A and B are shown apart, each in its own frame.
Chain A
């Protein structure tokens, strides 16, 4: 591997992608819209960001316009001193008044619209139209079901039924579409147009590391049940990664189900690895070994990881060593190391590189090219609503781009929305640097190194 040449190609290819994306801002950053303003203020005023995200978090739980109005005033009174536009949100207006009622309606509508940018629908049926639009635009999808914590077996069964419904609805409807034809005919990820991501901890209410054996057996049984439905409908399934407590259970369930005689030939079962975890390289090696033992390839989505704040806080409160890399560039570097490992083992796995970072993705694409690995041997994944211009730019370069599309109702959707907003507005956000701060392209395309993100 010629590292110098690889870096040159990343710079060249990445610049091309940048050139395309800088024509348009993702809608989330468009300040002509309500949500774009929220994002802009969040990046300018740290205290507004905290208060606004807390308001977004509580909003769906509020039953009356009076409750909304009083929460708006409570959370945003301070910010309104600096951001005068907030007056139109009903800040400091008596919560019973007619004006407050109108303002609270507008706020709720604004937040709902913001949520809709990231959530494609409330139900599988309700999302069909949007999913069809994506496929027509040349983008594949995997569907994720948003929900509250699963606290009882009743809720676990409800989740299970929602997955069953999603598998059945998509399995029945999607193949009828004209755009269901493979986007890239030779691509293993396009053996089927339907892909569903399963959050395993939602399927068993007593899932915990102290209940390890039973968690694995109950979840294996329930996942197997879903995989049977998926197999009947030719649907690809990914098992999403979660936090450090749950991941060992999830990985074990994945091995038991897809290593079993029944599902050994099930095509490309997906697992997710998180590059921010210090042990992610070893985890990846173990997964590749599993694929070898299985005798049939698996799909591996590589992401940086979505639980950094929660896990870092929790580890420090417990006095544990942080299981995750503390610095962003270490996660970025880990992502690239694992990207190479996956591409080096492409006969055992279908790598799916999940990121919005043009550097990280360009690295994977150019490494593959240098190794002579075809564009039909791996895919790229991005979150729905986060970075359409980037997704489109890679798609135009003939890569398979799959969007991770959440479905669900507003209450559980809010937690997801807040995470997306945080991700977009964080000081370390690549999207923020790309679309808002408009940092130097050459700088953003540099190999991960200390302070490269600063």
Chain B
């Protein structure tokens, strides 16, 4: 059960000019700080910034010529030192207790709320998130804090089980697992980093956050907020760095108990394999929580409302340039509707505004970096050889842009139909019947999100039963899951673990302990005495 007092943080209302102006001012301020070279991320150990390595430049993906700041990556020694010091802090952080930790995490939310425009502006610039997306990212981060804090409060008191039984007392309680390693992605650079980190912390696990190297600045801002809110400096470490190096080292450390990762399937699998090897001194199995990719499909039935369906597909496929694990990359249209739908969709997608994320009007911003852009452009070029492209236009210059791209009649054997690309690239294919459409949608290694636009009650019922995804959306877009309302996560190769933002999530971060006492002594029990 979700805590009944929980409410989601409201998004900004950009129809009010005051809110647009306030956001613009925050952007101007962050850019001024960047120009004055004030933005810097560095390893944060024992509450202190400890930059030793070389400084890497952070660039605005919308405008490569703009340098936002610098990041100093953690060294290999710092990674080892971190796990050791976190392990040493384990008892102290546990003793703080669920109730007080929940208060601290609630305070994290309070601090983020006070800086919401500034944090969002930093994401606009560092991650290339359009205004609305960046604002939603902050709201989700706040939601995670408030939601998990409320859940943690409920976990505080040991629960007496079946108390009506006499002569026996059964109590279930929860204890922290141990040192947690959180490896976060760049696409929700605040929300996901925050969600995983505060979940680990609120449950009493000393935690190291290794953020994606592309979004180290926002992670540094978040790290500072954690300490300001009252997280013990020895219970939290921020280690910017390259995943393959620092990340792998943190995972492999025998003192690590818990690994929480959101990112690619390949890396997720490596983590799972690496975490399963046991060193001689190790007295625990590592628990691994993975949120991986998706090859998410939306089905358009022949009786769908095209107005809603086109809008829903546009947002699901091209919002944040398709760089969400929940994004739609396959559309399956029941054949009677195929040509009409594809025509409306293609024209609508072709008119979306592609441009810098810092321009408020932008619908499709840049990809995260040039490497991503090149990878995607190459994949498009390659697919053009064997597929029919119906939408493609030259992207703006100056940043790592890719314009919305649509391929039609894509066979289900094609790699573009099966592999996640993480880009504003959409495959569309017809299906003979609704049954076929469902079969095509389900034929995937992933099972994260999915959607159906239909006005047939029986087809909607069938989709509820048979559409094999973790988050199914009927007659709406398939991205933007909201904490507490749409607990998020998939199965198959989309992940391992409970749904983020859902009532079970925190149970993965603790050990359950049951204590049973026989209260009967020589035939005497307190209850009956």
- List the interface of chain A (C-beta within 8 A of B): 54, 57-58, 61-63, 67, 70-71, 74-75, 148-149, 151-155, 205-206, 208-214, 244-245, 248, 318-320
User: What are 8 A-B pairs at a CB distance below 8 A?
Assistant: A58-B455, A67-B303, A75-B457, A151-B348, A154-B347, A206-B353, A209-B15, A214-B361
Interface string of B290-305 (1 = CB under 8 A from A): 0000000000001111
Q: Are B9 and A151 in contact (CB under 8 A)?
A: no
In the complex with contacts A209-B14, A319-B10, A74-B307 CB distance below 8 A: no
With both beta carbons as reference points, the residue of chain B lying nearest to A208 in the complex is identified as B361
* Alpha-carbon gap, A205 to B17, bound state (A): 21
Q: Are B306 and A148 in contact (CB under 8 A)?
A: yes
Count of chain B residues with Cβ under 8 Å from any Cβ of A?
36
- Residues of B with C-beta under 8 A to A210: 14, 20, 131-132, 360-361
Asked if B456 is at the interface of the complex by the 8 Å CB criterion, the answer is yes
In the complex with contacts A152-B350, A210-B14, A319-B7 CB distance below 8 A: yes
Shortest A144–chain B CB gap in Å is 18
Shortest A321–chain B CB gap in Å is 9
Q: Which of A54, A153, A320 contacts B351 (CB 8 A)?
A: A153
Asked if B344 is at the interface of the complex by the 8 Å CB criterion, the answer is yes
Asked if B325 is at the interface of the complex by the 8 Å CB criterion, the answer is no
Q: Which of A62, A152, A245 contacts B15 (CB 8 A)?
A: A245
* Alpha-carbon gap, A233 to B335, bound state (A): 46
In the complex with contacts A67-B303, A75-B457, A212-B11 CB distance below 8 A: no
- Residues of B with C-beta under 8 A to A211: 353, 360-361
- Residues of B with C-beta under 8 A to A318: 10-11, 13
Q: Are B303 and A61 in contact (CB under 8 A)?
A: yes
Shortest B320–chain A CB gap in Å is 14
With both beta carbons as reference points, the residue of chain A lying nearest to B7 in the complex is identified as A319
Q: Which of B304, B351, B352 contacts A61 (CB 8 A)?
A: B304
Q: Are A248 and B15 in contact (CB under 8 A)?
A: yes
Q: Are B353 and A319 in contact (CB under 8 A)?
A: no
- Residues of B with C-beta under 8 A to A209: 14-15, 20
In the complex with contacts A74-B457, A318-B11, A320-B10, A212-B351 CB distance below 8 A: no
Q: For chain B, what secondary structure do more than half of its interface residues adopt (helix, strand, loop), or is it mixed?
A: loop
Shortest A208–chain B CB gap in Å is 8
Shortest A48–chain B CB gap in Å is 14
Q: Are B307 and A151 in contact (CB under 8 A)?
A: yes
With both beta carbons as reference points, the residue of chain A lying nearest to B455 in the complex is identified as A58
* Alpha-carbon gap, A186 to B360, bound state (A): 49
- Residues of A with C-beta under 8 A to B131: 210
Q: Are A74 and B17 in contact (CB under 8 A)?
A: no
* Alpha-carbon gap, A308 to B11, bound state (A): 20
Asked if B8 is at the interface of the complex by the 8 Å CB criterion, the answer is yes
Shortest A95–chain B CB gap in Å is 11
Q: List B443-475 residues whose CB lies under 8 Å from chain A.
A: 455-458
Q: Are A212 and B347 in contact (CB under 8 A)?
A: no
Q: Are B8 and A319 in contact (CB under 8 A)?
A: yes
Asked if B336 is at the interface of the complex by the 8 Å CB criterion, the answer is yes
Shortest A124–chain B CB gap in Å is 23
With both beta carbons as reference points, the residue of chain A lying nearest to B345 in the complex is identified as A151
* Alpha-carbon gap, A155 to B131, bound state (A): 26
Q: Which of A71, A154, A212, A320 contacts B456 (CB 8 A)?
A: A71
Asked if B384 is at the interface of the complex by the 8 Å CB criterion, the answer is no
Q: List B355-399 residues whose CB lies under 8 Å from chain A.
A: 360-361, 363
- Residues of B with C-beta under 8 A to A62: 303
Shortest A392–chain B CB gap in Å is 36
